[in-house]
Amino acid sequence: MMDPIYGRIAANKRRTFFLFFLYAVLFALIGYFIGIYIGDIVVGIILAGLVFIVLFLISIYSGQNVVTRMAGAKEVSKQQEPYLYNTVEALSIAAGKPMPKIYIIETEVPNAFAAGRNPQNSIIAVTRGLMNRLNRQELEGVIAHEMAHINNYDVLLATVAIVLAGTIVFVSVIARRMMFFGGLGRGGRRSGQGQLIMIIVLIIVAILAPIFAQLLKFAISRQREYMADATAANFTGYPEGLASALEKITNQQVKDSPIENKALEGLYIVNPSLGARSGNRASVLFSTHPPAEERVKRLRAM
């Protein structure tokens, strides 16, 4: 029988390639309509294919850089942050995992996330508020949780989903501009056909955008948080550290937080949008994370 952790890793890799397949189909479809617009379907599909390949490479090899820039995170060295660096290094050694790069987000709202394509190429980002508000055991619990995501390849799936989801917006903007300028530069029947094709592309994007947004939600599933919590408790041998950290982090998310970002909220150990949605119980049904109370309960039952 396969170990649950290895089963999870294999499933995440399959989902990642399935996500790429769906995006390839999307780009082929858009390329087809662009080909009709420019008068050469083959050229349109080739252009779409080239864009997809570039995005594929960016997602796999530079996805974590895209995510850190979106989050406003800055890489730090051992000399700059010796306490944080030593904490991550000690946990990496204890868990037998490669040392990830360390980033800090300069905000007093406590939170953390991980990103990357594999355990050898990954980062862990924490906010200044997390370091200021947690004790050593709580900080170790959070770092161990993020290392678990890296080890389970949760971050590969999430990072790829975030980068590729952003292409929907890009394609929509390009299509709108092509329709506008194409409409100005052409006349008669040709102009009408061109605008119709761009309208079709925009409709496709409008239909698929929420679908891919939901795929992102599913990619960053609730179940992965429970597994990362359990793995973190095994890494540290002290479940209470992470349980206490989750309580502190959850209670200190604020409305209009500097780290509140719809594209990234599923990556964080606690959803930064909790502050904006406090009191809205219906939103729990659509959350990327399970309730913090349930996570804490499970940790304290270990």
Domain limit, last residue, from 145, 179, 213: 213
Q: Are residues 14 and 120 in the same domain?
A: no
Between 63-72, 137-146, 213-222, 286-295, the lowest mean confidence (pLDDT) is in 213-222
Q: Are residues 150 and 85 in the same domain?
A: yes
Q: Which residues contact 97 (CB under 8 A, 6 or more apart)?
A: 91, 119, 147, 150, 151
Query: What pTM did the predictor assign?
Result: 0.75
Q: Is the pLDDT of residue 13 over 80?
A: no
Q: Are residues 258 and 288 in the same domain?
A: yes
Q: Is the pLDDT of residue 232 over 80?
A: yes
Between residues 281 and 218, the one the model is more confident about: 218
Question: Which one-letter DSSP state was computed for residue 290?
Answer: -
Q: What is the mean pLDDT of the chain?
A: 79
Q: Are residues 100 and 236 in the same domain?
A: yes
Q: Are residues 150 and 8 in the same domain?
A: no
Q: Are residues 256 and 285 in the same domain?
A: yes
Of these residues, 81, 146, 260, 265, which one is catalytic? 146
Q: Are residues 58 and 173 in the same domain?
A: yes
Contact between 73 and 125 (Cβ < 8 Å):
yes
Between residues 261 and 183, the one the model is more confident about: 261
pLDDT (average), residues 50-62: 79
Q: Which of 168, 279, 290, 171 is nearest to 220 (CA)?
A: 290
pLDDT (average), residues 213-223: 60
Most confident option among 32-36, 220-224, 256-260: 256-260
Q: What is the pLDDT of residue 265?
A: 82
Overall domain count for the chain: 2
Q: Are residues 276 and 174 in the same domain?
A: no
Q: What are phi and psi of 121, to 5 degrees?
A: -135, 80
Q: What is the pLDDT of residue 187?
A: 45
pLDDT (average), residues 140-166: 82
pLDDT tens readout for residues 251-289? 999 888 889 887 788 889 998 887 655 444 444 445 668
Q: Is the pLDDT of residue 42 over 80?
A: yes
> Which residue segment(s) compose the domain that 31 sits in?
4-70+164-213
Q: Is the pLDDT of residue 173 over 70?
A: no
Domain limit, last residue, from 143, 178, 213: 213
Write out the DSSP string of 10-70: HHHHHHHHHHHHHHHHHHHHHHHHHHHHHT-HHHHHHHHHHHHHHHHHHHHHHHHHHHHHH
- The residue type at 62: S
Q: Are residues 22 and 110 in the same domain?
A: no
Domain limit, last residue, from 213, 230, 253: 213
Q: Are residues 137 and 250 in the same domain?
A: yes
pLDDT (average), residues 158-166: 70
% of the chain surpassing 70 pLDDT: 70
Note the helical H segments in 127-221.
128-133, 136-151, 154-185, 188-219
Q: Is the pLDDT of residue 197 over 80?
A: no
Distance CA 153, CA 116 (A): 9
pLDDT tens readout for residues 62-81? 778 888 999 999 999 999 99
Most confident option among 150-159, 162-171, 250-259: 250-259
CATH label of the domain that carries residue 246:
3.30.2010.10
Q: Are residues 287 and 229 in the same domain?
A: yes
Q: Is 146 labeled as catalytic in the residue annotation? A: yes
Q: Are residues 46 and 142 in the same domain?
A: no
